[in-house]
Amino acid sequence: MSMPVKKEQGILIALSCLLLLTGWFLNLGAFPFKLEEPRRALVALEMILNDDFIVPTINNEPYYKKPPMFNWVLIGSFHLFGDYSEFAARFVTVLSFIVMVALLGWAGAKYVNKEFGWLLVLLTATCVDFLFYATIYAEIDVFYSLVTITGFLGLFHFHQRGNYFTLFLWVYFFGALGTLTKSLPSVAFIACSLPAYLWYKKDLKQLFSFSHLLGVMVYVTIVGAYLFLYEKRHSLEPLLQSLFYDSSERTLVQQHWTSLLGHLVNYPLTVLKGTLPGSLLLIFVIRKRRDVVSTWKENPLIAFAVILLAANFWLYWISPGSRLRYVFMLFPFVLAIGLFFYQKFHAVDHRRLYFFRLFTRILIALSGLACLALPFVPGVKELPGIIVISILSAAGVAALFGYQYIRPVHSLFSMILLAAWLRIVFDLTVLSVRGTDSDSQRWKDIAYRVAELTKGNPVYVIRADNMHMLIPFYLTQQGQGILNYRPDFEYGGYYLVDKGSVPQEQFNVHYDFSVHGRDYLIVTLKPGNDDV
């Protein structure tokens, strides 16, 4: 299937990439850490301060839930930028995503065609969950998806070349990196993907080859070396127990079977929603079963995508606690299947093509109205210059609407450009608000105020649930040192406590604040109250 990228398509691709790059980096560091970000960054920061890159800690207590690979990468970014900023941490996510889509584009161009490769890049980049969530935060999932997809593509590419020695070394090397990033899911990916694909290729005998044994040895050596170094510093038992529990708590092992019923219905729909707008192309897959099977078997990369999804998706489909981000690494393969069928059938499937173009036009029109409504949206309407942002945003969408109307043949590119443009609008509005008026910003301001009050003296907590992770991170970032746990109150330090948990008359109260409906105090112990 030869389909070179034409000049107009080249311009659309370049414009899409420019808008996406702008959107990924615009205001990336303008708002405080959120969700799991402060936890990931705090572990990395404590590793630096403790000069211990083997045993992850939070508040100097061992942190067992995730191995340290992602923290090592964060440390590298902190050193690269020379600070512990939000931008430095989130740069890892964006860079990981760029490398990931570049690898996908290379595979698509090599094994399908050049246009397919570029469109797979752009459709993956404009998935709503990637565009408006995953590429915004310094969380582990995009980096882990990069590691996992690199292993997947190596399995496919080296099998195509018949290079089994490199295939097994590659798969198990990246499987080991994945295990050091997110523990047991990488073992499951290897156990499901490798036999399934070799079975499909009628090549199961390779599982009993010397090359496979070498691959397993590479995995055992890398993971075993880390566990050996860990055991030199700390007991392995709580780490292994926690990693196993963390990986199994969302499966039927830890969930009631009744929760499975709703999950079986909702999870596939959630995946389709998370891969919008690209998942709309799956309408071109809907045809006679015989035609569907013969079509995906035409191309080795698409066949690999089908086998990969069949081999891996079921595990998350029957696990009621699974989150959408756990299958981010499978998103591009869903999109690849839809895109391949679109390329093959859109010129002859007039009914579905008409629906796709009509939906794109409606989506662009609704987006334009949403841009015009920005000055009336609570929280956003107070932004300086919101009227100008609204007008310019709507003007860009209007221009795109006109282009799609004149050139409906490029409706797919119009949809991609719309998503990329809306990410920039999102950056200028929602991310700007998060940097001025949000719970996270209030936590950051409080942490800075506490750092100013305590002036470098140690700050302690008595109970883990007495704080939000933003407090210890920003205090540590501001040079306060690591925020430690203490089992009891002692002289010689400040304490972050729940307001209702201590008799205030026995303490000097230096600061009180309230966030998320809970009241907190920064206190020191008064003389003569050693028995608190």
How would you write 402-447 as a 3-class SS string?
Answer: HHHHHCHHHHHHHHHHHHHHHHHHHHHHHHHHHCCCCHHHHHHHHH
Query: What does the pLDDT read at residue 393?
Result: 97
Residue among 356, 110, 286, 157 nearest 295 (CA): 286
Whole-angstrom distance, CA of residue 238 vs CA of residue 356? 53
Residue among 339, 292, 307 nearest 117 (CA): 339
For residue 84, what are its two tokens? 């512990």
Query: What does the pLDDT read at residue 469?
Result: 83
Query: What does the pLDDT read at residue 248?
Result: 59
Query: What does the pLDDT read at residue 2?
Result: 46
Bridge partners (DSSP) listed for residue 180? none
DSSP string, 158-213: HHHTT-HHHHHHHHHHHHHHHHHHHSTHHHHHHHHHHHHHHHHTT-GGGGGSHHHH
What is the phi/psi pair of residue 155, to 5°?
-55, -45
Other CB atoms within a 10 A radius of the CB of residue 155 amount to 22
For residue 529, what are its two tokens? 């109250």
Whole-angstrom distance, CA of residue 142 vs CA of residue 147? 9
* Separation in Å, CA 472 to CA 412, 478, 485, 492, 499: 46, 10, 11, 18, 18
pLDDT tens column, 147-188: 999 999 999 999 999 999 999 999 999 999 999 999 999 999
pLDDT tens column, 106-154: 999 999 999 999 999 999 999 999 999 999 999 999 999 999 999 999 9
Query: What does the pLDDT read at residue 1?
Result: 47
Query: What does the pLDDT read at residue 517?
Result: 73
CB 116 within 8 A of CB 43: no
For residue 1, what are its two tokens? 């299937």
pTM as predicted: 0.93
Whole-angstrom distance, CA of residue 254 vs CA of residue 242? 14
Query: What does the pLDDT read at residue 463?
Result: 64
Residues of the chain with pLDDT under 70: 1-5, 246-258, 463-467, 528-532
Burial (CB < 10 A; 0-12, 13-18, 19+), residue 87, is middle
